[in-house]
């Protein structure tokens, strides 16, 4: 094999915004829907920074029919004079990486979400066009950039007599960069509503010209209303708690509430209005302060004796919903990465720990009756944790602990070769489908796990009870990566876990039960793209000469139009022989799989709690507001309201 040359001629310097177009993932994380919306957040966050500075109180976001979007605010407007480089200042902002007014506290912002000075330039680099309109200093500035910022139009500046100020940015994501350029209304809606919660009194308007939808968000009580929105319909031990203050230059708001009938933990954090989805030093400090306050109280009141170990953080946070909203000066603000999902500021840990410990301690001292109920709940959570630990230990030793009658390893039909990178696990519904799948599979890399009936609803079942269930134990053992806090994706026996159920209501219900379990106790499987849903056909259409499959009624109409055919409707996978199942649903060359992903964790978390939880009223409200009942009978509606457990 000939050696490739490597000389000084091979060293390239990417000018201007070329580096962003060459490696967009370095700047926005991905070029799928998530990266597309990241562009919008970059522009919206600039307007949010104006609101954080007290210079704007209205933000307008408009989604246009041509796949572009416009963000307008009534802030000060980007400076429009000549930069020291000789170019108009907006041109510098939109065409130069690391150019901005947020690098130090002496600039235009003491607190902001921007840090690297690349947001606007990255949006320009990854858009087919960007239009900038700015009003300030009695002038209106307009400039247009095209083809990823490689074409810069001459700016226009006109005088106007009004006193309006602000910035308006319209951008159209480049379809050559992104796998999709279609903005999702619900994704944008949730983000804008969230931002309005975080800044009291800020009005944010959203208009979608594609379908005429329009909403306005404005909340005078800020994150207290945010907390109430997240916990509506739930039973709780107390009214929402709200603490605010400033410590060492860091502004802090915390709203929190302990649920009386929930077991999960829902802590959401924000830094300078940026959702820190991966947590960071502020969340670490919050949890440490909370743990210290409750343990100190439990020992002071002798709920815990000298010989008793401290309550663990997970015991204390069981059923907790909390919102942390802090603002950090630019001088000490540190994010990990351009996408700003994790806070790295060291000072935030000590500040939050001290603040939360102090404020929660005062609350416990003042509200003794509530405090005692919470401590009792936490001690019971500790006992349940210990039981779950033992159950997980049992799950890891499952071959030894189960009897011959419930031999879990006997259910799994394993692969011949142990190669997690290539091996696939098909989770199938019932023994009939399992039989066809066993015969039809490629045994070198495809394993089959038949499940009897429906698995438990993980949203309504305690962890220790889940691990007493034979079907769940089979699933945990087959995947081989543990469960809950012990889950380790690197130990998964498969990189494709495929849910293969009948194309009917029961099949759909089994899918959502399995997805709920994965979301709650094996979250990384979904986050890393390991989970798929198989798409078996609904019909087989046979003519005198050949046959074809139809996956839906539209395809069926196309295949049968004007033809003399015989139609077979598959009521279940078990009705297919193994050759048909392989050909349509299991063969990697011909099958169709849907990959399950989490676009917005908080949104998914909320919807799973509503739809799969044990509170009927929130589910009824959601169904009434989101489902058309034209073809739904009363019996089906009652089943849905009950949460779908209707065998």
CB 614 within 8 A of CB 553: no
Burial of 186 (0-12, 13-18, 19+ CB in 10 A): exposed
Pairing relationship of beta strands 127-136 and 320-327 according to DSSP bridges: unpaired
Catalytic-labelled residue, pool 506, 575, 599, 614: 506
Cβ contacts of residue 15 below 8 Å, gap of 6+? none
How many helical (H) and strand (E) elements, i.e. helices and strands, does the chain have?
A: 22, 22
Tokens encoding 591? 């099958």
Q: How far apart are CA 437 and CA 572, in angstroms?
A: 12
- Specify whether the CB–CB gap between 241 and 257 falls below 8 A: yes
Q: Collapse the DSSP code of 311 into the 3-class scheme (helix H, G, I; strand E, B; otherwise coil) and give the result.
A: coil
406: helix, strand or coil: helix
Are the C-beta atoms of 515 and 455 separated by less than 8 Å? no
**Which of 353, 429, 600, 609 is the catalytic position?**
429
Is 504 labeled as catalytic in the residue annotation? Answer: yes
Give the closest residue to 586 by CA, choosing from 575, 599, 573, 597: 573
Residue 474 tokens read as 């089979």
What backbone torsions phi and psi does residue 557 show, to the nearest 5 degrees?
Answer: -60, -40
Annotated active-site residue in 66, 248, 386, 504: 504
- Assess contact for 165 and 77: CB atoms under 8 A: yes
Using an 8 Å Cβ cutoff, are 21 and 125 in contact? yes
Q: Which are the contacts of 344, defined by CB distance < 8 A and separation ≥ 6?
A: 280, 281, 334, 335, 336
CA dist 306 and 222 (Å) reads 42
Identify whether the C-beta of residue 71 lies closer than 8 Å to the C-beta of residue 47. Answer: yes
Phi, psi dihedral angles at 559 (to 5 degrees) = -75, -25
Give the integer Cα–Cα distance in Å for 602 and 432: 38
Query: Is position 429 annotated as part of the catalytic site?
Result: yes
Question: Which entry of 502, 600, 605, 609 is annotated as an active-site residue?
Answer: 502
Q: Catalytic site residues?
A: 429, 502, 504, 506
């Amino acid at each position: 094999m000939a050696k490739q040359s490597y000389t000084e001629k091979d060293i390239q310097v990417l000018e201007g915004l070329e580096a962003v177009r060459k490696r967009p993932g370095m700047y926005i994380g991905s070029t799928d829907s998530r990266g597309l919306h990241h562009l919008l957040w970059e522009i919206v966050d600039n307007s949010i920074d104006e609101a954080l500075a007290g210079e704007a109180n209205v933000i307008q976001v408009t989604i246009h029919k041509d796949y572009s979007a416009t963000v307008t605010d009534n802030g000060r407007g980007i400076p429009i004079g000549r930069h020291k480089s000789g170019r108009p200042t907006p041109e510098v902002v939109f065409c130069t990486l690391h150019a901005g007014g947020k690098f130090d506290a002496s600039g235009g912002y003491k607190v902001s979400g921007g840090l690297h000075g690349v947001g606007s330039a990255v949006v320009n680099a990854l858009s087919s066009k960007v239009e900038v309109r700015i009003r300030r200093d009695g002038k209106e500035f307009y400039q247009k950039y095209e083809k990823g910022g490689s074409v810069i139009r001459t700016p226009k500046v006109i005088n106007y007599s009004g006193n309006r100020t602000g910035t308006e940015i319209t951008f159209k994501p480049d379809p050559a960069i992104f796998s999709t350029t279609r903005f999702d209304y619900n994704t944008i809606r949730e983000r804008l509503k969230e931002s309005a919660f975080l800044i009291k009194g800020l009005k944010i308007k959203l208009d979608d010209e594609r379908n005429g939808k329009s909403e306005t968000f404005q909340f005078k009580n800020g994150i207290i209303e945010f907390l109430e929105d997240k916990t509506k319909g739930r039973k709780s031990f107390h009214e929402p708690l709200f603490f605010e203050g400033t410590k060492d230059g860091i502004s802090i708001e915390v709203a929190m509430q302990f649920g009386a009938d929930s077991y999960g933990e829902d802590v959401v954090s924000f830094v300078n209005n940026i959702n820190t989805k991966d947590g960071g030093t502020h969340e670490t400090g919050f949890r440490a302060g909370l743990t210290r306050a409750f343990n100190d109280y439990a020992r002071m009141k002798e709920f815990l004796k000298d010989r008793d170990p401290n309550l663990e953080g997970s015991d204390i946070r069981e059923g907790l919903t909390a919102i942390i909203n802090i603002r950090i000066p630019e001088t000490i603000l540190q994010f990990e990465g351009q996408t700003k999902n994790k806070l790295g500021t060291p000072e935030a840990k000590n500040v939050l720990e001290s603040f939360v410990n102090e404020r929660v301690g005062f609350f416990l001292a003042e509200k003794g009756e509530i405090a005692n109920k919470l401590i009792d709940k936490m001690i019971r959570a500790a006992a349940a944790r210990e039981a779950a630990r033992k159950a997980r230990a049992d799950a890891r030793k499952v071959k030894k602990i189960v009897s011959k009658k419930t031999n879990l390893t006997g259910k799994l039909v394993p692969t011949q070769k142990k190669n997690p990178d290539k091996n696939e696990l098909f989770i199938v519904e019932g023994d009939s489908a399992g039989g066809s799948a066993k015969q039809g599979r490629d045994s070198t890399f495809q394993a089959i796990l038949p499940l009897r009936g429906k698995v438990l609803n993980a949203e309504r079942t305690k962890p220790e009870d889940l691990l007493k269930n034979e079907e769940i134990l089979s699933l945990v053992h087959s995947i081989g990566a543990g469960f809950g806090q012990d889950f380790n994706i690197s130990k998964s026996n498969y990189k494709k876990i495929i849910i293969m159920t009948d194309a009917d209501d029961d099949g759909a219900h089994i899918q959502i039960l399995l997805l709920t379990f994965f979301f709650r106790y094996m979250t990384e499987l979904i986050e890393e793209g390991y989970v798929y849903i198989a798409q078996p056909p609904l019909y087989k259409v046979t003519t005198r000469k050949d046959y074809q499959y139809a996956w839906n009624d539209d395809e069926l109409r196309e295949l049968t139009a004007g033809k003399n055919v015989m139609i077979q409707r598959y009521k279940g996978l078990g009705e297919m022989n193994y050759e048909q199942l392989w050909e349509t649903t299991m063969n990697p060359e011909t099958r169709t799989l849907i990959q399950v992903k989490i676009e917005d964790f908080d949104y998914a978390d909320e919807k799973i709690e509503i739809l799969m939880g044990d509170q009927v009223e929130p589910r009824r409200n959601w169904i009434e507001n989101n489902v058309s009942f034209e073809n739904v009978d009363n019996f089906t509606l009652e089943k849905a309201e009950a949460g779908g457990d209707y065998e």
